[in-house]
């Protein structure tokens, strides 16, 4: 069974600092890995999707890397802003197509 | 274009009561999903429907039933609610569950359920 772990569970940084969020998974047989953002009381919004054949994906200030062989992904958010405060979840799509989610990292960016 | 909508947004039930959570999508997606989210845990799949007319169990199906009413709508029913079913429930949809490597899921805003 695929297990997805996100450490740390919570993170607080001052505005302007770069954020580094980690995700690890136990089974490297995946189609893709996604990072989602969840605001309090809201649903999930997809931020980045990395295919299993890719090493990284970028969108604006966000960059996600994938090392499938070691079962790790990292989400980098450059020059953090208070608006980046949210919970970030990673999810892998294994070969049975059913997403497996981590519990998330809750980020607070202090102004 | 509303995306994925869910009703109700909040609900309080007593143990043993029944209720149905409604979900609809207007993106012409084939596949729909129900998840629950509990504190400190990732989203867990309850049931999914790969296409209209089909439903399958996910990781935590016990105590739930689903109906894929048509291509747009996918409902989740609790026949006899238990306190362990207190959670936030999310519905999601995607173009095609098995279409492959680039596909993402689109999520509704969630239903917050408290069972006393």
pLDDT tens digit sequence for A17-58? 999 999 999 999 999 999 999 999 899 999 999 999 999 999
Query: What is the rounded average pLDDT of the residues B71-94?
Result: 96
Q: Which of A73-82, A88-97, B41-50, B89-98 has the highest mean pLDDT?
A: A73-82
Q: Does A107 touch chain B (CB under 8 A)?
A: no
B39 Cβ contact list (under 8 Å, min separation 6): none
CA angle at A75 for the pair A48 and A103, rounded to the nearest 5°: 90
**Which two three-digit tokens encode residue A106?**
């809750």
What are the residues facing A100 on neighbouring strands? A92
Alpha helices in B1-116 (DSSP H): none
Q: Which residue has the higher pLDDT, B61 or B103?
A: B61
Distance CA B65, CA B4 (A): 20
Q: Are B113 and B13 in contact (CB under 8 A)?
A: yes
Q: CB contact, 8 Å: A7 with chain B? A: no
Nearest-CA neighbor of B35 among B91, B100, B99, B93?
Answer: B91
User: Average pLDDT, whole number, for chain A?
Assistant: 95
Q: Give residue B99's pLDDT.
A: 63
Contact list, B106 vs chain A (CB under 8 Å): 46
Query: Taking 70 as the threshold, does the pLDDT of residue B102 lie above it?
Result: no
Distance of alpha carbon A66 from alpha carbon A80, whole angstroms: 21
B107/chain A closest Cα distance in angstroms: 6
What's the pLDDT at B25? 97
Residues making up chain B, counted from first to last: 116
Tokens describing residue A15: 């505005």
Q: How many Å apart are CA B56 and CA B75, to the nearest integer?
A: 13
Q: Is the pLDDT of residue A78 over 70?
A: yes
> In B, which residues are within 8 Å of A2 by CB distance?
none
Q: How sure is the predictor about B104, in pLDDT bands with cuts at 50, 70 and 90?
A: confident
* Residue B97 clears pLDDT 80, i.e. is over it: no
Find chain A residues with C-beta within 8 A of B42's C-beta: 4, 89, 91, 100-104
Local confidence band at B2 (pLDDT 50, 70, 90 cut-offs): confident
């Amino acid at each position: 069974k695929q297990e997805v772990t996100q450490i740390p569970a919570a993170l607080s940084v001052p505005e302007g600092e770069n954020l580094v969020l980690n995700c690890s998974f136990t089974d490297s047989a995946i189609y893709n890995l996604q990072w989602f953002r969840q605001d309090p009381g809201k649903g999930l919004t997809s931020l980045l999707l990395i295919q299993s054949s890719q090493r990284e994906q970028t969108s604006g200030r966000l960059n996600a890397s994938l090392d499938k062989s070691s079962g790790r992904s990292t989400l980098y958010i450059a020059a953090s802003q208070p608006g980046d405060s949210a919970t970030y979840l990673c999810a892998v799509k294994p070969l049975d197509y059913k997403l497996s989610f981590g519990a998330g990292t809750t980020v607070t960016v202090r102004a | 274009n509303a995306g994925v909508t869910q009703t109700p947004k909040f609900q309080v039930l007593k143990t043993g009561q029944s209720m149905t959570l409604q979900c609809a999508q207007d993106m012409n997606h084939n596949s729909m999903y129900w998840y629950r989210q509990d504190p400190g845990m990732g989203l867990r799949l309850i049931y999914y429907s790969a296409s209209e007319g089909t439903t399958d169990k996910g990781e935590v199906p016990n105590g739930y039933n689903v109906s894929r009413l048509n291509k747009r709508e996918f409902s989740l029913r609790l026949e006899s609610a238990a306190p362990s079913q207190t959670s936030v429930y999310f519905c999601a949809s995607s173009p095609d569950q098995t279409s492959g490597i680039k596909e993402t899921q689109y999520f509704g805003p969630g239903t917050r359920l408290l069972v006393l």
